[in-house]
Structure 1
Amino acid sequence: MSPVAEDLGQLGHLLATDTLAVIAAIALMSWLLRRRENVLAWLCCAGVAWCLFNLEGLAEIEARPFGLPVNRIALLYPLLFTTLGLAASLVGASLPRGLVVAMALGCLGLGAAAFPFHGLEIMRIAGLATIGVSLLILGFFATRAEAQIGAPEKLALVILYALGLGAVGFDLYAGTIRSGHGTRLAPYAGVVLLGFSGFVILRHILANAEARERLNQTLGQRIETTKANLLASESARHALEIAHAVKLERERLMREIHDGIGSSLVAALASAERQGKESTTAVVALKGALTDLRVAVDSLEPVEGNVATLLASLRYRYEPELRKSGIAVKWMVEDVPELDWLDAPSALHVLRILQESVSNTMGHSKATQLTFKCKMALLQGRPGLRVEIADNGSGFDINAPAIGRGRRNMVQRAEALGATLDILSKQGEGTATILWLPLVRRHGLNLEEGQAAEQ
């Protein structure tokens, strides 16, 4: 070989060795940052072993002073052990701990034996045989590999490691048995082998980091969803507690009204009836007050937005008196949807409007029939319920000035509900009170006007 070619070979050898040292240093720093990545520790150890093996080979060729105080055969076994450990870690081969310990002890024993007997031919042959066994073990790793990396990368790793160990065997054969001084392949094979290994490791770490980031995002979304569900559950629980408290308070008020004012009115009515005809006006007034009180109590009952229930309650309270007055009841109430906004105060307004209509029929109309109607109806394109109470009495002039505050109070209550009230009547044709209730009530309505009408 010419001197120029020899110098270029030595320069390439040195550059490859320096590259291996850089790879080992980067792997060490990376492992210090990520201690759980054992593959980085294997890469660092393999880089150091390859670097020492190449330095000793260069010293043997040039007899330079940086040669190590050991022979190349002794350095072969740490190289094989760390390279196989890196390969197993990369391809994810599941190895019994006993096998790993046996390999470590075997390499340690062979390396120690190479010190006193390195000049014997048997040690050189043993080194080559160990490389062959390492190739078999590498094939075993490939069969035991788990799905930690992709199949193309796994195949490339196995091929590169086999070629790398083959290059080490070739250099050992050329440098020991043939005593040749040609181009050494091991330094370049080590750079390719460990460089590709580092690339695979980096890609694996980045893939894990990306997967972890996606997992964190998914967990963050689940946490936010769980928080929202918990807040919704807490709001629902709070609403149930409030509803339960309102129910208890409503029951208490109903009981107090029934046992207090109601009992007093019943006692006063019984006393007035015992006094005879002279108290007829008082009897009528007390009966009316008692009916009003019962209607107010009925409005406290939870109707759950059911207007038909309100009408049935009103019919139940007034039907006995209607029969005594000779007025028959006709029921034409259809199955209608519930009104979500119909709470207790709104229910009382509806009952008061309808109660005023029934009272007027009983007191002034001379009717023989009172009809209760309820059905779905549109008003200016808006869906709602059309509640109607109509009699066949004498009627009145709708344009005549109103006497008393009854009709005005009815209109005020309807406006407070966001409803529409129409009173239709003609002389001799009866009277119809039509109350249209919206399915969805506009926000911002105030029931205080209706409460003022109550006073």
Structure 2
Amino acid sequence: MGQKAEGVMLWGRLLAADTLAVIAAIALVAWLLRRSEARLAWLSFASLAWCLFNLSDLAPSEAWATVSAQIALLYPLLFATVGLAASLLQVAVARKLVAVAGGASLALGASAVAFHTTEITVIAGLASIGVSLLILGLVATRAGRQVNVFEKSLLASIYGFGILATALDVWIDMQKPSLGLLLSPYAGVMLLGFSGLVILRHVLANVEARDRLNETLSRRIETTKANLLASESARRSLVIDRAIKLERERIMREIHDGIGSSLVAALASAERQGKDSTTAIVALKGALTDLRVAIDSLEPVEGNVATLLASLRYRYEPELRKSGIAIKWMVDDVPELEWLDATSALHVLRIMQETISNSMGHSKATQISFNCKLALMSGRPGLRVEVTDNGIGFDMNTPTRGRGRNNMVQRAEALGAKLDVLSSPGDGTKTILWLPLIRKPALDAEALQIANRGSSLRKTPRASGSGSSAT
């Protein structure tokens, strides 16, 4: 072989050794940063073993017995190569077995140096290559499920080629040392470079899986956070609702025990005075009924108009019976109105109260009918509440002296509702209140104020058991 060719081959082997040294250094640093990645430790160890094996052939023959040195370094190389293959193929190996195999490779390497002149050393080295190939085949058959068939076959083939290349180099050094053509340096670079790529692919796959897991955890955290915020909001709403309920009960109790008791006492005193207090008795009864209706509006009815009407019936039925007026009840089981709070409930009760008072005081009716059912108005769903009497009725075109009807209209506007009063002489009176199932979000606040102010300004005395003015 020419001198130039020998120089090229020498530089190629040195470059391969340097490449293996770099791979060993990078893998070692990576393993120190990620101790849980045993594959990196095996890659560093195997790269170092291959690097030393290739360098042994470059040493002067006076300092090294070339074949013996290669045999001595062959055992750690085979041990590291098979261990790296098992790690890449995800084959579980007991630590004790790894320790025994590692100790045996070092012992065999030391014996090769001590008995380098004997032929048994070379034979043992070549035999160890055959054993390593058998172990490599066994490891390939026990590869983990996550390793696909193509990757397993390619890795086993490359590792088998690398081990066979070492055997060929040992044979060339024994039989034709002048040939100078060695395959192990390049086979080692190919084997370990491929191993590095496999490890890199697994690391990147783990990073991608970790990122997906982090993203999933982030979504779960956001969902949990949103659920916690919703739960906290619901809890606060419950606390606020309970506080409102307790305050409502306190106000109802104070009104009942305070103003209510005073009115009852005044009514009892007026009744004891006889006929001279008839007007006062009527006024006190009307005021007491008004107070009870106001208290009823504070009761939580959960948006149930039927319950609200039932409470009004309960308050007025005794007075209606005394006045000779029968009740016809035709109230259906209707949906609840979510917007019907205490203020809105009081508006509904006051409208109905005005209607009942007019029937009791002016219509000379003998029957009042209550009707409540679902009805559409201009395509919007709602509840139609009707109160009808069979009294004498009145002329709708005749001007009225009181403010009762105007106050009813203002209260209906404050509710976002529609109010119609229909009557004619001799045909009785029908009051229709249409309440929307879903109220528009922005109601006229001024209408609420006007309705409340109109109610507070209306002080017309009641007559014949009723305190409402004539409609």
Task: Indicate the TM-score class for this superposition, using the shorter chain for normalisation.
Answer: over 0.9
Q: Which amino acid aligns with 1:374?
A: C
Provide the C-alpha distance between the structure 2 equivalents of 1:141 and 1:448, rounded to a whole number of angstroms: 88
Deviations 1:42-86, CA, capped at 9 Å, x for gaps: 1122111111111112336xx599999981111112211211221
Q: Which residue of 2 aligns with 1:55?
A: 55
Deviations 1:171-215, CA, capped at 9 Å, x for gaps: 112212565635212112111111111110111000100110011
Provide the C-alpha distance between the structure 1 equivalents of 2:122 and 2:21, rounded to a whole number of angstroms: 26
Higher mean Cα deviation, 256-265 or 228-237? Answer: 256-265
Q: Which residue of 1 aligns with 2:107?
A: 109
Would you say the 8 A contact 2:67–2:174 is kept in 1?
no
Would you say the 8 A contact 1:94–1:144 is kept in 2?
no
Provide the C-alpha distance between the structure 2 equivalents of 1:69 and 1:162, rounded to a whole number of angstroms: 21
Which residue among 373, 377, 385 is the counterpart of 1:379?
A: 377
Task: Map 1:187-336 to 2 at 5 A.
Answer: 187-336=185-334
Q: Which amino acid aligns with 1:449?
A: I
Q: Which residue of 1 aligns with 2:20?
A: 20
Q: Which residue of 1 aligns with 2:181?
A: 183
Higher mean Cα deviation, 167-176 or 23-32? Answer: 23-32
Structure number with greater CO (CA < 8 Å, separation at least 6) is 2
Shift of 1:336: 1.1
Shift of 1:5: 4.9
Would you say the 8 A contact 1:372–1:389 is kept in 2?
yes
Would you say the 8 A contact 1:306–1:338 is kept in 2?
yes
Give the SS at the match of 1:432.
strand
Provide the C-alpha distance between the structure 1 equivalents of 2:98 and 2:174, rounded to a whole number of angstroms: 29
Q: Which amino acid aligns with 2:452?
A: Q
Provide the C-alpha distance between the structure 2 equivalents of 1:175 and 1:378, rounded to a whole number of angstroms: 104
Would you say the 8 A contact 2:68–2:122 is kept in 1?
no
Q: Which amino acid aligns with 1:92?
A: Q
Provide the C-alpha distance between the structure 2 equivalents of 1:314 and 1:18, rounded to a whole number of angstroms: 100
Give the SS at the match of 2:47.
helix
Provide the C-alpha distance between the structure 2 equivalents of 1:70 and 1:454, rounded to a whole number of angstroms: 116
- Structure 1 residues 118, 253: closer, same or farther in 2, change over 3 A? same
Shift of 1:2: 5.4
Provide the C-alpha distance between the structure 1 equivalents of 2:360 and 2:46, rounded to a whole number of angstroms: 107
Identity %: 67
Give the SS at the match of 2:110.
helix
Deviations 1:14-45, CA, capped at 9 Å, x for gaps: 33333323322332343344343221221122
Q: Which residue of 2 aligns with 1:31?
A: 31
Would you say the 8 A contact 1:56–1:67 is kept in 2?
no
Would you say the 8 A contact 1:30–1:40 is kept in 2?
yes
Deviations 1:301-334, CA, capped at 9 Å, x for gaps: 1000000111111111111111111111111111
Shift of 1:150: 2.7
Provide the C-alpha distance between the structure 2 equivalents of 1:66 and 1:288, rounded to a whole number of angstroms: 125
Provide the C-alpha distance between the structure 2 equivalents of 1:140 and 1:96, rounded to a whole number of angstroms: 15
Q: Which residue of 2 aligns with 1:73?
A: 71
Provide the C-alpha distance between the structure 1 equivalents of 2:62 and 2:403, rounded to a whole number of angstroms: 123
Which residue among 401, 407, 410 is the counterpart of 1:403?
A: 401
Q: Which residue of 1 aligns with 2:127?
A: 129
Provide the C-alpha distance between the structure 2 equivalents of 1:280 and 1:151, rounded to a whole number of angstroms: 107
- Structure 1 residues 375, 66: closer, same or farther in 2, change over 3 A? farther
- Structure 1 residues 180, 322: closer, same or farther in 2, change over 3 A? same
Q: Which amino acid aligns with 2:449?
A: E
Q: Which amino acid aligns with 2:141?
A: T
1:164 has 2:162 as partner: yes
Q: Which amino acid aligns with 1:450?
A: A
Q: Which residue of 2 aligns with 1:430?
A: 428
TM-score, with normalisation over the residues of structure 1?
A: 0.94
Task: Map 1:358-369 to 2 at 5 A.
Answer: 358-369=356-367
Give the SS at the match of 1:58.
coil
Higher mean Cα deviation, 340-349 or 29-38? Answer: 29-38
- Structure 1 residues 162, 78: closer, same or farther in 2, change over 3 A? same
Deviations 1:396-421, CA, capped at 9 Å, x for gaps: 12222221221111111111111111
Q: Which amino acid aligns with 1:21?
A: A
Q: Which amino acid aligns with 1:448?
A: Q
Q: Which residue of 2 aligns with 1:87?
A: 85
Give the SS at the match of 1:387.
strand
Q: Which residue of 1 aligns with 2:455?
A: 454
- Structure 1 residues 454, 69: closer, same or farther in 2, change over 3 A? farther
Would you say the 8 A contact 1:357–1:433 is kept in 2?
yes
Would you say the 8 A contact 1:20–1:50 is kept in 2?
yes
- Structure 1 residues 116, 332: closer, same or farther in 2, change over 3 A? same
Provide the C-alpha distance between the structure 1 equivalents of 2:345 and 2:75, rounded to a whole number of angstroms: 94
User: What's the C-alpha RMSD, in Å, of the aligned pairs?
Assistant: 2.1
TM-score, with normalisation over the residues of structure 2?
A: 0.91
Give the SS at the match of 1:375.
strand
Provide the C-alpha distance between the structure 2 equivalents of 1:70 and 1:364, rounded to a whole number of angstroms: 130
Provide the C-alpha distance between the structure 1 equivalents of 2:32 and 2:414, rounded to a whole number of angstroms: 75
Deviations 1:337-381, CA, capped at 9 Å, x for gaps: 100000111101100010000000000001111110111111111
Structure 1 unaligned segments of length 5 or more: list them. none
Q: Which residue of 1 aligns with 2:438?
A: 440
Would you say the 8 A contact 2:16–2:189 is kept in 1?
yes
Higher mean Cα deviation, 207-216 or 71-80? Answer: 71-80
- Structure 1 residues 35, 64: closer, same or farther in 2, change over 3 A? farther
Give the SS at the match of 1:114.
helix
Q: Which residue of 2 aligns with 1:139?
A: 137
Aligned length: 453
Would you say the 8 A contact 1:56–1:68 is kept in 2?
yes
Shift of 1:3: 5.2
Provide the C-alpha distance between the structure 2 equivalents of 1:155 and 1:289, rounded to a whole number of angstroms: 99
Would you say the 8 A contact 1:17–1:54 is kept in 2?
yes
Provide the C-alpha distance between the structure 2 equivalents of 1:12 and 1:249, rounded to a whole number of angstroms: 93
